[in-house]
Chains A and B, each alone.
Chain A
Amino acid sequence: MIDFELISFIIIASIMIISAIMVLRSREVVHSAMFLALTFVMVGCTYILLNAEYIALVQIIIYAGAVTVLMLFAIMLTKRKIMDHHPDEKEVNTFFELMASCILVFLILISILAPVFCPETYKETFDRELTSPGSTSDLGSLIVQEYMIPFIIVGIFLAVAILGGVFLAREKEED
């Protein structure tokens, strides 16, 4: 019997990785943004495979729908002309490139191997059983019951951030 879930995961993951590489490799910044959106959508699909429907949808709404548009706005507002190519842009230093990659690989390895080497720490996380895994109502009750305090703190932080943003974006009144 063919494992359809595995096949779809392989397809999704390969698209995700290829597009993530293309984000870096594209010469056109807007193309990078497009690949980034594709990566976000594929991350959302991975969440669906993990039965986390709500997170997947929110991922698509917020990251693919909104964050990439914000990035595009940033690109459009900083570039002088549309389709303005800079063929003689300086390449990134190879040394720093290698360093960054090594650090990244190290971090990924840590996060993958940590549960393998010290399973006791993660036991609780893996053993938790939800009534219906990944369901939105479970998520909601977790947030407002178990993690109430962190949720409120995050909310207050966000409110403060919005206030700060409004304050910064506001035009200065002329005296």
Chain B
Amino acid sequence: MTFYEFIRGIIVAILTWLGDGVTWIVLQINWQPLTGFAGWVGGIIMSEPSINLLTILSGIITVFLIIFINLIMMMWFELKLFARFYHGRGPTEVGYAGLLQNIAHGIKLFMKELIIPKKVDKWAYLIAPIIYIGTSFAVFVAIPWTEGFYLGRKDLAGGFLIVFAIFSMAPFLIFISGWASNNKFSLIGGIRSATQMISYEIPLLLSVVGVILLAHSLSLTEIVGAQSQTLGILPVWFLLLQPLGALLFFTAAVAELERIPFDLPEAEAELVEGWKTEYGGLRFGLIMFTEWARAFAGCSLFVLLFLGGWQGPLMETSLFGMDLGPIIGLVWFFIKVYIVFGVMVWVRASFPRVRIDQLLRVCWNTLLPLGLINIFLTVMVITLLSGFGVTYAIGFALGSFFLMVLLLFVRPEVEPLPPEGTLTSGGKKERTPALRTLVLKPLWVTMKHLFRRPATLMYPYETLKKPHTTAYYPVTKKIARVYEDGVFGVPDIWRNYRGAIGLDVDACISCGLCGRICPNRCITYVEFPGRDKNKKVPRVDFGVCMFCGLCAEYCPKGCIFLTSEYDLSAFDRNDLIYGPEKLSMFRGLKPETRFPERARELPSWEISKCIGCQLCSRRCPTGAITMIDSAIYIEKYGITWDETKKRPKSLPEFTGDKCVSCGTCAEVCPRRVITMDTPDSKGGIDK
């Protein structure tokens, strides 16, 4: 059963069912004009042309939907695989493993305004990409995906040529839209594209001639059928019979699809976006989408021509008498397409973009002669094997020899034209690219990198911390995977890193030194349950904090410390303000070593100014200041008090060994009696 018959069966069934319903209703009404009209309409709808039209339309819509979903999958596949070649992870956030990323892109492009620049040739500017997109999707009419997958009633006899004819329309349209954009970048991109595509069409066609000769047909279905033989378990695909042709086809197809390394028409470093520069919004999105559609078509063509199409094991399966062959064929086809596409991504990850002269030289000097040689070899082998007679074989041999000589004669000198002043190694000829260093080595290097562990850290969920345990992550309320030390080649990163600060609330004496020393004023103080109202504890705004670590260096009790935790990303800025509870969660990360003791400042008194307000004594967090009776004080320290001033009841006495140099006393003193003195001063009464 072909795809056409399948769709047609469904359509006929639906129409019959609807028709029965309508007939029943009409008969119930039983009104003569209505019956006549309904019979007339029904006759038209149920006629052969109308059913054919409906079938073809529904087939196209079905295939288009499949292509649409598949293209989104292919884009995702490319993003993921390409990221893995560079130790990345690709999209992860939107949908499962970032599957819906491209849909998000699409929605974003959909929201954008469609701008038509003022000085474009409006008519050509609008119509050229439409035809480009339309023709590119029309390619799928001729590409069979599985057994009996024809959109029409029968197989297209010239399947390959139809694909090719439709493909060949693209350079003209790209050229036109590049010109119509009225922008030099677009024009250069369009010209490059046209040059490239027109040049590479020739090796593309030549490389397939061998396959067509072997299969005796232009129809893609028959080409696939010709690859059904097996040699033991090994299937004889045309990849084995035509390795050179397959290589040429792949190279030419990559160039034809304008993918890296042949994406000169949209060389973003030089040409902004090439011929697409002036297109925005959904137009741009559709053009990009079409590029992937073309890539899909190219990969399918490679699979059909060289990889045996939909053929694979388990093709003869049937379930409850139903032949499952076509469905399994579909699965094989898509697996193969994705493998070929993966190789394309691999190539994309391996090579830098080539220059335009290199590109054209590769085409005309390498691919074209190789393609011709491939054809001659194929023809010779076929004639020799199929017993056309020795005369024919000799004729072909002579002819091919003659043409190869001709080719060598025609082949122009491989001499680039270096502009004056450029580097040429002592006037020598440019060396031909070495296969090993320029092609195989990059491929090998990228392949090695594919199997490495991704270096990207999933920021809120993973950390790069020393203790390789799981840890509760306070911001996102998730269990964070903690990586082992040294995995990423930076073993001591956590040790030398000044990360977020943590707090040991129990040890805090509420001296307020951290808040005073903080250069960014990110530390404020809040009350803490179970503590005295005046004994406030620090709260840190990590949105402001620059991780300088001064607070930890100055903290007299070592209750503020630096942790290796530095990934504090949150979805809300308020989440970045860490109260004492959150800060205490870092207690497990408290390092064993502390900062060395700092040279300390100590308070000194100008006692004659003192009014005896007792603030310093009350606010001192360590009790280093006590108030004693002024008479005793004066006697003890031998001060001469100016008797014109009123003598306060008590005066502050300082015990140096308890002091933590927090400076609270100096701050609270209303008369500036106390000042914090230089480091290493002894402190005490200023005489």
Chain A residues at the B interface, C-beta cutoff of 8 Å: 2, 4, 28, 30-31, 33-34, 37, 41, 44, 53-54, 57-58, 60-61, 64-66, 68-69, 72-73, 76, 82-83, 135-137, 159, 162-163, 166, 170
Inter-chain CB contacts under 8 Å: number: 83
What is the interface of chain B, defined by CB distance below 8 A to chain A? 49, 119, 121, 123-124, 157-158, 161-162, 164-166, 168-169, 171-172, 175-176, 179-180, 182, 184, 187, 191, 194, 198, 201, 216, 218, 406, 410, 412
Q: Are B182 and A82 in contact (CB under 8 A)?
A: yes
Q: Which residue of B lies closest to A67 (CB)?
A: B172
Given contacts A54-B158, A136-B157, contact A31 B172 (CB under 8 A): no
Complex Cα spacing A163 to B172, Å = 26
List of B residues within 8 angstroms of A135 by Cβ = 157
11 pairs across A/B with beta carbons < 8 Å? A30-B180, A57-B164, A61-B161, A61-B168, A65-B169, A69-B171, A69-B194, A69-B198, A72-B172, A135-B157, A163-B410
Q: Which residue of A lies closest to B409 (CB)?
A: A163
Q: What is the distance, in angstroms, from A148's C-beta to the closest C-beta of chain B?
A: 12
CB distance from A88 to the nearest CB of B (A): 20
Task: Flag if A30 contacts B171 (CB, 8 Å).
Answer: no
Docked Cα-Cα span, A26 to B216, in Å, equals 45
Known: A34-B176, A65-B171, A82-B182. A4 touches B162 (CB 8 A): no
* With A61-B164, A65-B169: A76-B124 Cβ-Cβ less than 8 Å: no
Q: How far is the CB of B70 from chain A (nearest CB, A)?
A: 26
Interface of A, helix, strand, loop or mixed by DSSP = helix
The reply to whether B176 and A83 contact each other, CB–CB distance below 8 Å, is no
User: B157 and A72: CB pair below 8 A?
Assistant: no
Report Cα–Cα, A30/B127, bound state, in Å. 13
Residues of A within 8 A of B180 (CB): 30
Q: How far is the CA of A162 from the CA of B411 in the complex (A)?
A: 12
Chain A residues with CB under 8 Å of B187's CB are 76, 82
Residues of B contacting A162 in the complex (Cβ-Cβ under 8 angstroms): 410
**Docked pose: A166 CA to B168 CA in angstroms:** 24
Whether the pair B158, A57 counts as a contact (CB closer than 8 A) is yes
Q: Which residues of A contact B172 (CB under 8 A)?
A: 37, 64-65, 68-69, 72
- Bound state CA distance, A63 and B172, in angstroms? 11
- Is the pair A4, B49 in contact by a Cβ cutoff of 8 Å? yes
With A57-B161, A135-B157 known as contacts, the answer to whether A83 contacts B182 (CB < 8 A) is yes
Give the complex CA separation of A72 and B180 in angstroms. Answer: 12
| Most chain A CB inside 10 Å of its own CB: which residue of B162, B171, B172, B194 | B172
With a cutoff of 8 Å between Cβ atoms, the chain B residues found around residue A57 in the complex are: 158, 161-162, 164-165
Residues of B within 8 A of A41 (CB): 169
Which among A54, A68, A170 is the interface contact of B161 at CB below 8 angstroms?
A54
CA distance A157 to B162 in the complex (A): 28
Q: State which of A37, A61, A82 has its C-beta within 8 Å of the C-beta of B179.
A: A82
Report chain B residues within 8 Å CB of A37. Answer: 172
CB-defined contacts of A58 to chain B, threshold 8 Å = 161, 165
Q: Identify the 9 closest CB pairs spanning chains A and B, nearest first.
A: A65-B168, A60-B165, A57-B161, A57-B165, A61-B168, A61-B165, A53-B158, A69-B194, A68-B172
Residues of B with C-beta under 8 A to A44? 165
CA gap between A33 and B124 in the complex, in Å: 11
Write the nearest CB–CB distance from B592 to chain A, whole angstroms: 72
Closest to A163 in B: B410
Residues of B within 8 A of A73 (CB): 191, 194
* Other 7 A-B pairs with CB < 8 A, given A64-B168, A83-B119, A166-B412: A41-B169, A57-B161, A57-B162, A65-B165, A69-B194, A76-B191, A83-B121
Instruction: Tell whether, in the assembled complex, residue B175 and residue A136 are in contact, meaning their CB atoms are under 8 Å apart.
Output: no
A64 CA / B173 CA spacing, docked (Å): 10
Closest-by-CB residue of B relative to A59 is B165
Smallest beta-carbon distance A43→chain B, Å = 13
Contact B179 A76 (CB under 8 A): yes
Complex contacts, B121 vs chain A, CB 8 Å: 28, 30, 83
Within the complex, the shortest CB–CB distance from A145 to chain B, in Å, comes to 13
Cβ of A2 and Cβ of B169 under 8 Å apart? no
Q: Which residue of A lies closest to B163 (CB)?
A: A57
Chain A residues contacting B165 (CB-CB under 8 Å) are: 44, 57-58, 60-61, 65
**Which A residues are in CB contact (< 8 Å) with B410?**
162-163, 166
